[in-house]
Each structure stands twice: as structure tokens, then as C-alpha cells.
């Protein structure tokens, strides 16, 4: 499961009923604001279509304003499409300039053992994440400060699961549909490697008398 808590800015007043992931939702286009249009994180918000306070707040949310939303990120296999966010909670009564962008990727894994150095004291590696009980995989980058390179080098293994806490970042060059997508990690954890044990069963002793028919029982 991949969790997000962020301030989203509503970009369109249109609400569209959609069926996705086996359920009925009301969708709306929104972004996590960036310093420019090229660096905003574009999403499709999906609010479960059931009467109640959550859906009412979602439908009454005004275009151009922000709301604090928590939910689950659904990464698809088409990176040109915005991320899907399944809305868990929504709070529209927040300051206009409030900003939050916190993500926990709970089912990520290292897709390579290569670590690349970037500018601004940043290192990066490629990771993948999958949907629940699915073969659908999305690839993105894990970026972190160079001070964590030693930890990353010690932990990274191709295919090794990891849990990453940080914030989402996207960048579109020349307004391209497919963005460069990354999670900028404040920290990450991995499961401890298990010791490799030999699959061979221990051999019996070499002394004579083991594993053969026993001697007759003596009559004391």
C-alpha cells in the first residue's frame, strides 16, 4: 500500500462518475502545486461514490483552492497518465498557501544496484512499485541526499523490497505528457537479509555401526 497526505489544488470544476478498480467513484483533476506548471504533480482524485460528508466536501470543493487530502496512490503502467489517488479523507477548510506533500511507499523494491550521482548533493537509483496482488509495475526514481549514499550502498540489492518515506516530484520537459517521476526520500528501510543456509543435510558420522541393522538384544 502506498500512502499520501498532501495539499491538492483543484484544476477543474468538472466531476465525472467513473468505474475503476471494481468500484464507482467521482473523479476530479488536481495537482500538488510546484514552482511552475512543469514541476507540479498531476493526479486524478477518486472519491468513492457514496452519499456522506466526504463526497459532499469533495463535490463542493472550489476550483483553484486547496484541500488537504489523505489517500492511497495507485500507480498505473502508463506513465503518461496522471497518478490515481483514492481519497480517504478530505479537509477543504485550510489556508490558501498551505503546502504538504508526504508519501510512504510500502511496496517498493530496488530495480537495480546502480546509484547515480546528481547535482545539488543528490544521489538516485531506480525503483519499482506494484499494485496489490498484481503484476502491474510502475518505475520511478528514488532520490535522496548524498549524506545517505553510504546507507543506500549498503542496503541496495536488485529486487530487494524497501519502504520509502518522502515526497513526490515530477518534471515535464517542454510540457511532455510523460514526466520524470521520483520520490525524494527523507529515509527508507529494508528487511534484514537472512543468512544463507546450506540446503545439504548434515552427513552421518563416519564411525562403523551407524545406520545399519542393530545387534541382537543381549539377555542379561
| CATH number for the domain harbouring residue 116 | 2.40.50.140
Three-state secondary structure readout of the chain: CEEEEEEEEECCCCCEEEEECCEEEEEEEEEECCCCHHHCEEEEEEEECCCCHHHHHHHHCCCCCEEEEEEEEECCCCCCCCEEEEEEEEECCCCCCCCCEEEEEEEEEECCCCCEEECCCEEEEEEEEECCCCCCEEEEEEEEEHHHHHHHHHHCCCCCEEEEEEEEEEECHHHCCCCEEEEEEEEEEECCCCCCCCCCCCCCCCCCCCCCCCCCCCCC
pTM, rounded to two decimals: 0.82
Residue 71 has pLDDT above 80, yes or no: yes
Residue 43 banded pLDDT, cuts 50, 70, 90: very high
Average of per-residue pLDDT across 40-48? 95
- Distance CA(164)–CA(198), nearest Å, equals 32
- Distance CA(41)–CA(182), nearest Å, equals 10
Please check whether residue 208 lies inside any domain of the structure: no
Residue 107 has pLDDT above 90, yes or no: no
Residue 215 has pLDDT above 60, yes or no: no
What is the structure's pLDDT at 113? 95
Please check whether residue 210 lies inside any domain of the structure: no
Residue span of the structural domain in which 14 resides:
2-190
Listed range (4-13, 15-24, 199-208) with the worst mean pLDDT: 199-208
Exposure class string for 137-171: b at 16+ Cβ within 10 A, else e = ebebbbbbeeeeeeebeebbeeebebebbbbbbbe
Average of per-residue pLDDT across 108-127? 95
Residue 33 has pLDDT above 90, yes or no: yes
Please check whether residue 53 lies inside any domain of the structure: yes
- Distance CA(24)–CA(46), nearest Å, equals 9
CB 190 within 8 A of CB 155: yes
CB 181 within 8 A of CB 128: no
Higher pLDDT, 131 or 74: 74
What is the structure's pLDDT at 89? 97
Please check whether residue 211 lies inside any domain of the structure: no
Please check whether residue 218 lies inside any domain of the structure: no
What is the structure's pLDDT at 1? 81
Residue 203 has pLDDT above 80, yes or no: no
Average of per-residue pLDDT across 172-187? 86
Number of domains in the chain: 1
What is the structure's pLDDT at 143? 97
Please check whether residue 42 lies inside any domain of the structure: yes
- Distance CA(81)–CA(79), nearest Å, equals 5
What is the structure's pLDDT at 220? 38
Residue 174 banded pLDDT, cuts 50, 70, 90: confident
Please check whether residue 161 lies inside any domain of the structure: yes
What is the structure's pLDDT at 128? 92
Residue 196 has pLDDT above 70, yes or no: no
Amino acid at each position: 500500500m502506498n500512502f499520501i497526505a498532501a495539499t491538492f489544488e483543484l484544476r477543474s470544476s468538472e466531476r465525472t462518475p467513473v468505474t475503476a478498480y471494481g468500484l464507482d467513484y467521482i473523479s476530479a483533476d488536481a495537482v500538488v502545486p510546484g514552482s511552475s506548471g512543469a514541476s507540479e504533480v498531476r493526479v486524478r482524485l477518486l472519491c468513492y461514490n457514496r452519499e456522506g460528508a466526504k463526497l459532499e466536501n469533495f463535490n463542493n470543493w472550489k476550483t483553484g483552492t486547496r484541500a488537504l487530502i489523505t489517500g492511497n496512490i495507485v500507480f498505473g503502467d502508463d506513465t503518461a497518465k496522471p497518478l490515481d489517488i483514492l481519497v480517504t479523507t478530505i479537509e477543504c477548510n485550510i489556508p490558501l498557501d498551505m503546502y504538504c506533500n508526504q508519501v510512504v511507499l510500502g511496496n517498493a523494491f530496488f530495480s537495480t544496484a546502480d546509484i547515480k550521482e546528481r547535482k545539488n548533493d543528490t544521489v538516485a537509483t531506480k525503483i519499482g512499485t506494484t499494485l496489490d496482488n498484481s503484476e502491474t509495475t510502475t518505475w520511478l526514481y528514488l532520490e535522496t541526499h548524498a549524506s545517505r549514499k553510504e546507507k543506500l550502498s549498503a542496503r541496495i540489492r536488485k529486487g530487494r523490497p524497501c519502504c520509502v518515506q518522502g515526497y513526490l516530484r515530477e518534471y515535464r520537459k517542454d510540457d511532455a505528457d510523460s514526466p520524470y517521476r521520483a520520490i525524494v526520500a527523507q529515509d527508507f528501510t529494508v528487511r534484514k537479509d537472512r543468512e544463507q543456509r546450506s540446503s545439504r543435510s548434515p552427513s552421518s558420522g563416519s564411525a562403523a555401526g551407524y545406520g545399519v541393522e542393530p545387534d541382537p538384544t543381549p539377555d542379561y
